[in-house]
């Protein structure tokens, strides 16, 4: 039974077993604030619905959450706008990386899911229409769910994202051309880059995700969304959460998860716990190389795969 | 608790609630043996790991299993050839329907997963290299797992599939061009069409799938594959099992499932039961219109979603 | 012999024969300054290398040259930067319209030719690096070649192009992402929109193109480029000059030509004359519906096809 | 004037100038009969409409005409079925090589032009419906136009084409799936492979093409097609005749041309002559490396570009 597992020992075992893998993969280098993070960093944290929490190694060190932010943006848009969001963004896996732009063109400006950049831009546009101060609403949500009021954006990352975001700017303009952005392109991009530039640590991320492991209701921070919506977000995470490796991640790890190019991955064990692992070097799909392996070891050791 | 659920009543409720939907969707019409099936048919069956089974309406009437066969072919190939199968076929969702051929070309003849036709042709080729009498091995597996020795191929369906299978023949020749078929194209197609042309009923299909709900080990028909492999097949089903609607199916139903254009869908509740639903009219994604709805009602009523 | 042709009569015949076609096609309506042009307008002008010129109907009325400007931009870039331009832009036809963005992605940011928008953006970027005042250089070239000092940009068109150019902005940002733009995206777009917004009439356009019919050397305005380069520009026009209908245009008309969505088309009869026709309603490929027909009648009547 | 040119000297100059290039490129190696041809072979022949002919080096040695056969097949289909052929095949350039299959899918089974393999398969199907003995009609046409009754198919090439033609078999099945083949797939393929396997020499090919340089009417073998159709075939050749390098070929050579992977290229100087060059090693676009260069030298020296 899952109650009988000594999770701290499991984390220790994982920490030992991933040690030889440190050095594999490649840290994202498109902006200096990501490129400068030491590749040997590794942290992992668990937050159980019943209250216990566990952390190891660099589990308390903050990193750039990057695309993990798409999970929280989806939650906020879905909470307030409901199923109407699916008129503007799909919930199907995206196929080959090659297809990002052609897919958008072929499907007339409807991004395949909220976790590819085009879809996250649409979600950003939706949030701009819902919140009077979207940046503060977004930060407020993270601070409230994690219980950590010092969470904030890294300004150097934000500046670098804006300066190099030509491809996201291309996507946003194409969405605008298809009439799937209501707000000015630059406003949408500003909010999108803002979300990506937040820094959090594994403990904070595990805590923030707990509502997804607990029927939409965080034991420590209250009701976020309905149980039905929480399950559905988990389903979208499983099929679309890890770029073009969603199938491989489901196969290896067997949990809904969402990754970011900062090297973080959050994952959910429904009705039991939320997890976060961090190691900055990425595999060829853009997911943390060591992080993916650590989660695979976790489900192998605990038999907590949803399958 | 799931033990306390009265499954027969749940099936009755579902039967009542889907009644108004009968008449929606469209029966596959590319070959007469499928086109001639009355669209108002509906059946559903459950097989619990603990032994109980339930069935309603046309749950005992046989239909063409079509692509559900891909699940059993994958099981046989994976059982005997192990993880080496992933060198010849991927396990990622396939993206837009538009991409079937271009994907194969772009990814140099490696189909994205074993559940798209191209991938199933590769799996057929693998089985041709493993079994001395592949057709009998395949039928034998179905008969053994279901306990029904009368399961067989429908000859009219088989003839029609062969006569109209130009697109599958195109795929097989492209795979051959990429050196991803070892056997002659026509031999691979023959075995592929054979699998698709088997007829089974919901009860038989639920029974046959039970190993996937029970750690790879069928309570009534013995060990099929390892627990690890069973989980992994479930993961591939969830991300790739329902054509280009895998994301939507996960979102709505929340169970690993595999559909066929004959209108059948099998689904797995890990550690609890296997299900099969049948209704021949299809939605725009090629999955049973009423069947998908029935499964959605099932998880809504029982809260048995894996998420 | 072409000398014996009475070109004014040929123009009259064409004018009569196209009359019943007026009303076909559809005027470009993405910006008001184009949408407001009466669809029944028709003009045509010839400029012979030996000095004679002919014009009919609205041949003296100015219209938005739009993509015809790409021909002059290519000339200026090729004149000053030589064959090095082909390192940054191809000279192959572009295939289906569907492919514009995917092609750019597949070919790593190298547009297929200088006459698709992406290629023209690269040419604009090249000119920004060559001229200290690119807008005046461009206008000066048109004024000098046409002998008409009043040629200028239409400000309403320019404003409208900038306001609605989301797709061009998407392309430019994608080119920037591939490092195939040296100047800021907005500077490149500004110059690109400037070129497109120039207004000229058929007589002025025929005169401006005369160097391409005369070995690169305009009889009335001096040497523009080498004979070899002029021939090569004509070759690129023939294979790429009329959007995705280059094959059809070569088949029907048999002359190198460049069209614009303002309804103008220029064409070249090597060693003999340059032509321009204008009629604002477009066929499904985005070329002037009546203009294409008028040019087809011209080569049918005069046997001046290059084939 | 072109009459004053000493063509034999021009051929000698070209022969000298291409000598250092021998050894570049790569002989087609997908079947032994092509792979075994010595890469240093080079021949060239001209056939003037006024009767004179010129040849140099290996101009009298036969080679596999391969895709040059598509030009003659198009002529036969167009002659007998007229413009109706364009309902089943387009006449636009094909864009990137990557697109062959996706294009066919995207455009619902209508190949972009008669010179890509899919288009030539449709043309083959058309000819099967027109001729009672298509193979003899085809051979008869070549023998009559060239005046060489010994022209025939190379049986080893034919066998090898059939044995390795998986991709063409894929295309033909996809065309069949789109209902754009009337005859059985294998019949169409048989006739297609037959055409490709004919062997001819440069002199024979130049003679055979002469009708295209003479308004459809061969001075030595009589009327083939109308002047209008001949011009239109030349236009299709220019825009689509050299695989994905049509733009480059027009730019460099400036003549309508059709190439084959056997290393032959035929070209047309309208109203003056037909040419054929042969050298088996191919450039990356699949056109003869030395042959393309020889034709470029020819138009540079003679100024006979159509532009």
Query: ipTM score here?
Result: 0.94
CB-CB: which of C98, C105, C170 is closest to A173? Answer: C170
| pLDDT at residue B1, rounded to an integer | 62
| pLDDT at residue B96, rounded to an integer | 61
CA angle C194, C197, C198 (to 5 degrees): 95
Q: What is the pLDDT of residues A140-171, one digit of tens each?
A: 999 999 999 999 999 999 999 999 999 999 99
Spell out which residues of chain D touch residue C307, defining contact as CB-CB under 8 Å. 230-232, 234-235, 238, 256, 270, 306
Given a cut of 80, is residue C290 above it in pLDDT? yes
Nearest-by-CA chain C residue for D271: C307
Tell me which of A235, A243, A272, A299 to substitute to probe the interface with B (most B C-beta atoms closer than 10 Å): A235
Is residue B192 annotated as a catalytic residue, yes or no?
Answer: yes
Which helix H or strand E contains C265, and what residues bound it?
A: strand C264-269
CB distance D231–C93 less than 8 Å? no
CB distance D239–C238 less than 8 Å? yes
Nearest-by-CA chain A residue for C109: A167
CB distance B167–D185 less than 8 Å? no
Given a cut of 70, is residue C256 above it in pLDDT? yes
Given a cut of 60, is residue C245 above it in pLDDT? yes
* CA nearest to D45, candidates D3, D9, D11, D5: D11
Q: Sheet of B63-64: strands edge to edge?
A: B63-64, B198-200, B152-153
Given a cut of 90, is residue C150 above it in pLDDT? yes
**What's the Cα-to-Cα distance from D182 to each of A207, B32, D102, D178, D179, rounded to whole Å?**
65, 21, 22, 11, 7
Q: What is the pLDDT of residues C47-103, one digit of tens each?
A: 999 999 999 999 999 999 999 999 999 999 999 999 999 999 999 998 665 456 777
Is residue D106 annotated as a catalytic residue, yes or no?
Answer: no
User: How close D185 gets to chain B, by Cα (Å)?
Assistant: 9
Q: Give the pLDDT band of residue A287 (cuts 50, 70, 90).
A: very high
What chains are in contact with B, requiring at least 3 Cβ pairs below 8 Å? A, D
CB distance A248–B112 less than 8 Å? no
Count of positions (residues) in chain D: 307
Q: What mean pLDDT is reported for chain A? A: 95
CB-CB: which of B99, B167, B176 is closest to D174? Answer: B167
Tokens 């020819």 belong to: D298
CB distance C173–A169 less than 8 Å? yes
Spell out which residues of chain C touch residue A105, defining contact as CB-CB under 8 Å. 98, 100-102
Q: What is the pLDDT of residues A52-61, one digit of tens each?
A: 999 999 999 9
Given a cut of 80, is residue A100 above it in pLDDT? no
* CA nearest to D14, candidates D43, D41, D49: D43
CB-CB: which of A239, A245, A305 is closest to B246? Answer: A239
- Chain B contact for D258, CB < 8 A? no
Q: Which of D55, D67, D124, D279 is catalytic?
A: D67
Count of positions (residues) in chain B: 307
What chains are in contact with A, requiring at least 3 Cβ pairs below 8 Å? B, C
| pLDDT at residue C214, rounded to an integer | 98
DSSP per position, chain A = -GGG--HHHHHHHHHHHHGGGBTBSEE--SSHHHHTS-TT--EEEEEETTS-EEEEETTTS-EE-GGGHHHHHHHHHHHHHGGGGGGTS--S----GGGHHHHHHHTTT--S-TTSHHHHHHHHHHHHHH-SSHHHHHHHHHHHHHT-TT-EE-HHHHHHHHHH-HHHHHHHHHHHHTT---S-HHHHHHHHHHHHTEEE-HHHHHHHTHHHHTTTEETTTEE-S-HHHHHHHHHHHHHHTTGGGHHHHHHHT-S-EEE-TTSEEEEEETTTEEEEEE--EE-TTSSBHHHHHHHHHHHHHH-----
CB B196 within 8 A of CB B68: no
Backbone angles phi, psi at B197, to 5 degrees: -95, 0
Nearest-by-CA chain A residue for B232: A251
| pLDDT at residue A1, rounded to an integer | 62
Classify D187 as helix, strand or coil. Answer: helix
User: How close D102 gets to chain B, by Cα (Å)?
Assistant: 5
Q: Which of C192, C207, C236, C290 is catalytic?
A: C192
Q: What is the pLDDT of residues B31-63, one digit of tens each?
A: 999 999 999 999 999 999 999 999 999 999 999
- Chain B contact for A109, CB < 8 A? no
Spell out which residues of chain A touch residue B307, defining contact as CB-CB under 8 Å. 230-232, 234-235, 238, 256, 270, 306
What chains are in contact with C, requiring at least 3 Cβ pairs below 8 Å? A, D
Nearest-by-CA chain A residue for C170: A170
User: How close D33 gets to chain B, by Cα (Å)?
Assistant: 19
A vs C: CB pairs below 8 A: 55
CB distance A238–B307 less than 8 Å? yes
CB-CB: which of C101, C169, C172 is closest to A105? Answer: C101
Report the sign of the C-alpha dihedral through residues B219, B225, B230, B236, in that order: negative
Q: Give the pLDDT band of residue C225 (cuts 50, 70, 90).
A: very high
Q: Which of C10, C41, C64, C70 is catalytic?
A: C70
DSSP per position, A29-51 = -SSHHHHTS-TT--EEEEEETTS
CB distance B247–A103 less than 8 Å? no
Packed helices C134-146 and C185-196: angle between N→C axes, nearest 10 degrees? 20
| pLDDT at residue B217, rounded to an integer | 97
User: Residue B74, Cβ neighbours under 10 Å: how many?
Assistant: 25
DSSP per position, chain B = -GGG--HHHHHHHHHHHHGGGBTBSEE--SSHHHHTS-TT--EEEEEETTS-EEEEETTTS-EE-GGGHHHHHHHHHHHHHGGGGGGTS--S----GGGHHHHHHHTTT--S-TTSHHHHHHHHHHHHHH-SSHHHHHHHHHHHHHT-TT-EE-HHHHHHHHHH-HHHHHHHHHHHHTT---S-HHHHHHHHHHHHTEEE-HHHHHHHTHHHHTTTEETTTEE-S-HHHHHHHHHHHHHHTTGGGHHHHHHHT-S-EEE-TTSEEEEEETTTEEEEEE-SEE-TTSSBHHHHHHHHHHHHHH-----
How far apart are the C-alpha atoms of A108 and C13, rounded to whole Å? Answer: 44
Q: Which of D55, D100, D188, D192 is catalytic?
A: D192
Tell me which of C108, C125, C162, C166 to substitute to probe the interface with A (most A C-beta atoms closer than 10 Å): C166
C vs D: CB pairs below 8 A: 117
| pLDDT at residue D103, rounded to an integer | 76
| pLDDT at residue D1, rounded to an integer | 62
- Chain D contact for C96, CB < 8 A? yes
Tokens 């063509």 belong to: D7
How far apart are the C-alpha atoms of D304 and D307, rounded to whole Å? Answer: 8
Per-residue pLDDT of chain D (307 residues; tens, 9 = 90+): 677 899 999 999 999 999 999 989 999 999 999 999 999 999 999 999 999 999 999 999 999 999 999 999 999 999 999 999 999 999 999 866 545 677 787 788 999 999 999 999 999 999 999 989 999 999 999 999 999 999 999 999 999 999 999 999 999 999 999 999 999 999 999 999 999 999 999 999 999 999 999 999 999 999 999 999 999 999 999 999 998 899 999 999 999 999 999 999 999 999 999 999 999 999 999 999 999 999 999 999 999 999 9
Tell me which of C244, C247, C253, C254 to substitute to probe the interface with D (most D C-beta atoms closer than 10 Å): C247
* CA nearest to D10, candidates D44, D41, D40, D50: D44
CB distance D167–B174 less than 8 Å? yes
Given a cut of 70, is residue A206 above it in pLDDT? yes
CB-CB: which of B96, B107, B236 is closest to A247? Answer: B236
| pLDDT at residue C299, rounded to an integer | 97
Spell out which residues of chain D touch residue C254, defining contact as CB-CB under 8 Å. 231, 235
Percentage of the residues of chain C whose pLDDT score is greater than 70:
98
Q: Which of D10, D69, D70, D207 is catalytic?
A: D70
Is residue D70 annotated as a catalytic residue, yes or no?
Answer: yes
DSSP per position, C61-118 = S-EE-GGGHHHHHHHHHHHHHGGGGGGTS--S----GGGHHHHHHHTTT--S-TTSHH
Q: What part of A 171-190 touches C (C-beta under 8 Å)?
A: 171-174, 176-177, 185
Reported in sequence order, the residue ranges of chain D that DSSP labels E, i.e. its strands, are 26-27, 43-48, 53-57, 63-64, 152-153, 198-200, 217-218, 222-223, 257-259, 264-269, 273-278, 281-282
Q: Give the pLDDT band of residue A4 (cuts 50, 70, 90).
A: confident
Q: Which of C7, C78, C211, C243 is catalytic?
A: C243
| pLDDT at residue C241, rounded to an integer | 95
At a CB cut-off of 8 Å and minimum separation 6, what does C10 contact?
C298, C301, C302
Burial class (CB in 10 A: 0-12, 13-18, 19+), D283: middle
CB distance B245–A93 less than 8 Å? no
Q: Name the stretches of chain B with pLDDT < 70.
A: 1, 95-100
CB distance A170–C167 less than 8 Å? no
CB-CB: which of C98, C106, C235 is closest to D250? Answer: C235
Spell out which residues of chain C touch residue D113, defining contact as CB-CB under 8 Å. 247
């Amino acid at each position: 039974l899952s109650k009988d597992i000594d999770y701290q020992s499991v984390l220790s075992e994982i920490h030992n077993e991933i040690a030889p893998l440190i050095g594999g993969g490649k840290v994202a280098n498109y902006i200096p604030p990501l490129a400068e993070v030491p590749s040997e960093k590794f942290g992992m944290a668990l937050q159980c619905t019943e209250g216990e929490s566990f952390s190891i190694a660099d589990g308390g060190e903050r990193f750039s959450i990057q695309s993990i932010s798409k999970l929280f943006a989806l939650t906020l848009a879905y909470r307030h706008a409901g199923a109407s969001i699916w008129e503007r963004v799909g919930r199907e896996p995206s196929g080959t990386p090659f297809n990002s732009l052609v897919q958008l063109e072929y499907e007339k400006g409807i991004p395949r899911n909220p976790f590819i950049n085009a879809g996250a831009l649409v979600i950003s546009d939706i949030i701009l229409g819902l919140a009077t101060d979207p940046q503060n609403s977004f930060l407020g949500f993270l601070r409230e769910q994690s219980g950590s009021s010092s969470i904030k954006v890294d300004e150097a990352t934000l500046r670098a994202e804006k300066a190099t975001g030509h491809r996201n700017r291309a996507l946003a303009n194409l969405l605008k051309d298809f009439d799937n952005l209501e707000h000015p392109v630059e406003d949408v991009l500003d909010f999108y880059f803002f979300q990506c530039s937040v820094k959090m640590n594994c403990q904070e991320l595990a805590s923030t995700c707990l509502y997804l492991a607990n029927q939409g209701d965080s034991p420590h921070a209250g009701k976020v969304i309905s149980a039905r919506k929480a399950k559905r977000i988990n389903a979208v995470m499983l099929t679309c959460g890890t770029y073009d490796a969603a199938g491989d991640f489901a196969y290896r790890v067997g949990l809904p998860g969402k990754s970011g190019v900062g090297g973080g991955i959050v994952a959910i064990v429904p009705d039991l716990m939320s997890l976060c692992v961090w190691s900055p070097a990425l595999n060829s799909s853009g997911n943390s190389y060591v992080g993916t392996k650590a989660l695979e070891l976790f489900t192998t050791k605990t038999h907590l795969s949803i399958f």
